[in-house]
């Protein structure tokens, strides 16, 4: 499925990037082999960070904080560190959409049927049908049917349930971006609110509350100092 999703991304890219109307204004690119050296370029350059894991799955890591520190605004669900970030910067400075944990659990108990959400959202229905019909992969129309089948029948992350709210939130993002003064203010509020996520605070809290150890001013020797049989062996 991961390979299918990557193929879907590249297929969308082939369509958008070669479109005569938007091809020179918008590009869709799948960045292979994501790593630290690539992140060092992407994160400072990003305007919008997407942290869209379903509430309660705790799928977000620390990448969202790195984007926040570099002035990127976030569109995301109330999941993982997004919750803490929103508490620090205020809900006016982050784009939150979708169900919260309680709503996800309630939907699971009622019985989640992705098909219901697909049918009542014309845009989502069109997307799923285009994937099924091979619009994005005309050379092999059935290539991405498994993706559509997953959305219809095995949507364990409830993507379809949150889709409409996500799309509406993206409209809000686009509207806000038109007001560069407001966008810049929100970016500054993001940067100014990252103090809580410093390693100093985090490690101190872990040491005190989880590991049960206290700070010590004693200076330990460097790893290469005082090793028997080396030039740096300390002589009494």
For residue 58, what pLDDT is reported? 80
Contact criterion met (CB below 8 Å) for 76 and 172 = no
State yes or no: pLDDT of 233 exceeds 70.
no
Which phi-psi region, left, alpha or beta, contains residue 46 (left: φ > 0; alpha: ψ -120 to 50)?
A: beta
Question: pTM (2 decimals)?
Answer: 0.85
State yes or no: pLDDT of 36 exceeds 90.
yes
Q: Any idea which residue has 């500054």 for tokens?
A: 188
State the average pLDDT over residues 29-54: 95
Mean of pLDDT over the chain = 92
State yes or no: pLDDT of 20 exceeds 60.
yes
pLDDT digits (tens, 9 = 90+) for 141-170: 999 999 999 999 999 999 999 999 999 999
State the average pLDDT over residues 214-223: 81
% of residues, the chain, pLDDT over 70: 94
Contact criterion met (CB below 8 Å) for 11 and 134 = no
Confidence of residue 225 (pLDDT cuts 50, 70, 90): confident
Confidence of residue 175 (pLDDT cuts 50, 70, 90): very high
For residue 202, what pLDDT is reported? 85
Tokens representing residue 29 in the block: 């690119």
For residue 235, what pLDDT is reported? 53
pLDDT digits (tens, 9 = 90+) for 51-92: 999 999 987 678 899 999 999 999 999 998 899 999 999 999
């Amino acid at each position: 499925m991961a390979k299918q999703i990557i193929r879907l991304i590249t297929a969308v890219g082939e369509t958008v990037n070669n479109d005569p109307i938007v091809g020179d204004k918008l590009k869709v690119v799948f960045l292979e082999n994501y790593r630290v050296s690539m992140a060092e370029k992407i994160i400072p350059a990003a305007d919008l960070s997407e942290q869209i894991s379903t509430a309660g799955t705790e799928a977000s890591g620390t990448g969202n904080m790195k984007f926040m520190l570099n002035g990127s605004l976030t569109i995301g669900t109330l999941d993982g560190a997004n919750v803490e970030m929103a508490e620090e910067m205020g809900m006016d400075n982050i784009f939150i959409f979708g169900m919260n944990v309680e709503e996800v659990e309630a939907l699971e108990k009622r019985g989640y049927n992705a098909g219901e959400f697909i049918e009542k959202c014309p845009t989502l229905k069109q997307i799923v049908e285009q994937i099924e019909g091979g619009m994005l992969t005309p050379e092999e129309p059935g290539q991405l049917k498994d993706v559509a089948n997953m959305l219809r029948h095995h949507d364990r992350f409830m993507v379809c349930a949150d889709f409409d709210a996500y799309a509406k939130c993206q409209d809000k993002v686009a509207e806000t971006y038109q007001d560069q003064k407001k966008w810049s203010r929100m970016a500054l509020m993001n940067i100014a609110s990252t103090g809580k996520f410093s390693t100093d605070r985090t490690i101190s809290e872990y040491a005190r509350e989880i590991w049960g150890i206290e700070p010590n001013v004693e200076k330990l020797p460097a790893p290469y100092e005082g090793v028997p049989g080396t030039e740096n062996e300390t002589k009494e």
